[in-house]
A = this chain, B = another copy of it.
Amino acid sequence: MVRGLADPMRNLNLDETEFCLMRVIGLFDEDFGYLSEQGRNSSRQIRDYYIRVLIRHIHVFRSHMPEAEIGCRVSMVMLLISSITKLQHLTNDNIRLSETPIPASMGKYSYQLICGVCSDQATSRHYGIVSCNGCKGFFRRSIWNERAYKCRNGGACKIAKEHRNVCRACRLRRCLEAGMNPRAVQNERDHNAKRGDMSSRKEMSPSAAVQTDPLSCSPSHLTKSHLSGADAYYDEAVAILLSLEHRVMTRVDAPGSSSVTSPAHISSHVPFITAFNNPSIVTPRTPLVITGIRIATVDDALQDWRRAFVIYADWLNEFPEFKLFEHSDKMILAKKRFIPFYWWLLAYWTVQAGCDGVAYANGSYLPRIKELQCVPDVRQTCERMMKELA
């Protein structure tokens, strides 16, 4: 069943810019009741501004999609933002990942198309997945003829370009596993005229052999530079955001920094405001390691929470628009929105790492499969951390 919040996120295949923008929008979204009048206005303005930027971004970067799908994507993104903004705690449930493992092709934003069946070079999508011509034809013929092949190797054949014709049973199995949809195969059609034999065209006059077309086709309409003016504005907003993102994510404290004592949590029960203004007392800024190569322990989860808090504080303190708020509003916002912010961080790391679970920023991950988890309950962990910053 597809229920976790992580699922729509994964299906959307968000890029980095979208992640950043959605996080920002979430920070300043809705539910302004607790802010001052002025804070409310600023908040709404910032939100609306970044929503415009995001919608723009989607339209530009998905311009190959039909309009309807873009609309669908925009709606879904908005729905996701508001769902996540409303999160009061992270629970095992709402960070839960899909039951289906990550398709290997996602997460890498490569533009080279690879056949999902045999890894040959592919030209486009066929029967629902990116696939090569060979696998396309093979699948259609198999479905039409209702072939039931038999493997002579116990069904364990690997399928690759070089030997994809060795075992039809396994090739067809791979096709289905990779997601080819038998329902997308249509009926046989009418026959075409023979090649070269143009008799079905009602015979054109021979004088028509002018062929005044010496390759006048310029490949220049590849740039869809329809848009300008406001675009510069929008590009700049994105650039600023990404650079802030990069700065905060790569910020590292010198190992022997004076304000840093030890990587441990000497700092229980610091007032929130102190921690927020000087986050390195919570934990030093260690480099982020998004690999998800080992299973997280309870300490990993706690430590990641601290590191994420430092990122949060650094990020907000550097975010230009945040400076517009009065001090009290700043604190209210900062307290209120850490959980959604952290959710976005985890979501992004998880996609980056491509591991089968929720990735933390110290190389560990919380496995999707309960039996492997060393962390009793995410929610408890989070609440414990929240208390730490009374």
Tell me if A221 is interfacial: C-beta within 8 Å of chain B. yes
A190 to chain B, nearest CB (A): 5
List residues of chain B with CB within 8 A of the CB of A76.
8, 72, 75-76, 79
Decide: A200 near B211, CB < 8 A? Known: A51-B1, A78-B2, A221-B145: yes
From known contacts A71-B11, A166-B187, A213-B199, infer whether A182 and B227 are also in contact, taking CB-CB under 8 Å.
yes
Contact B181 A67 (CB under 8 A): yes
Chain B residues with CB under 8 Å of A187's CB are: 162-163, 165-166, 221-222, 224
Name A182's contact: one of B144, B201, B215, B224 (CB within 8 Å).
Answer: B224
- Which residues of chain B come closer than 8 Å to A64, judged between CB atoms? 184
Contact of A203 among B8, B72, B205 (CB under 8 A): B205
Known: A51-B1, A221-B144. A190 touches B202 (CB 8 A): no
A185 and B217 contact, Cβ closer than 8 Å, known pairs A75-B11, A78-B3, A204-B205: no
Contact at B129–A67, with CB atoms within 8 Å?
Answer: yes
Structural contact, A189 and B204, CB atoms closer than 8 A = no
Closest Cβ of chain B: how far from A49's Cβ, in Å?
11
| Nearest chain B CB to A135 CB, angstrom units | 14
Q: Which residue of B lies closest to A72 (CB)?
A: B11
Q: Which of A184-235 contact B (CB under 8 A)?
A: 184-191, 193-197, 199-213, 215-217, 219, 221-222, 224-227
Interface residues of A in 114-160 (CB under 8 A from B): 125, 128-129, 143-149, 152
A254 contacts the other chain (CB 8 A) = no
A332–B185 CA distance with the chains assembled, in angstroms: 48
Task: Name the B residues within 8 Å of A33 (CB-CB).
Answer: none
- Known A7-B75, A143-B224; judge A68-B13 contact (CB<8 A): yes
Chain A interface size, under 10 / 10 to 19 / 20 to 34 / 35 or more: 35 or more
A167 within 8 A of B: yes
The contact string, 1 if C-beta is below 8 Å from chain B, for chain A 81-124, is 01100000000000000000000000000000000000000000
Please determine whether A201 and B67 come into contact, CB atoms closer than 8 angstroms: no
Residues of B within 8 A of A162 (CB): 187
Q: Would A183 and B2 be within 8 Å (CB), given that A201-B147, A204-B201 are in contact?
A: no
5 contacts between A and B (CB under 8 A): A148-B202, A163-B187, A191-B213, A203-B209, A204-B205
Q: Which residues of A contact B (CB under 8 A)?
A: 1-3, 5, 7-8, 11-13, 48, 51, 55, 60, 63-69, 71-76, 78-80, 82-83, 125, 128-129, 143-149, 152, 162-163, 165-169, 179, 181-191, 193-197, 199-213, 215-217, 219, 221-222, 224-227
The 9 closest A-B pairs by CB, nearest first: A202-B208, A8-B75, A195-B217, A63-B183, A146-B202, A200-B211, A11-B71, A67-B128, A165-B189
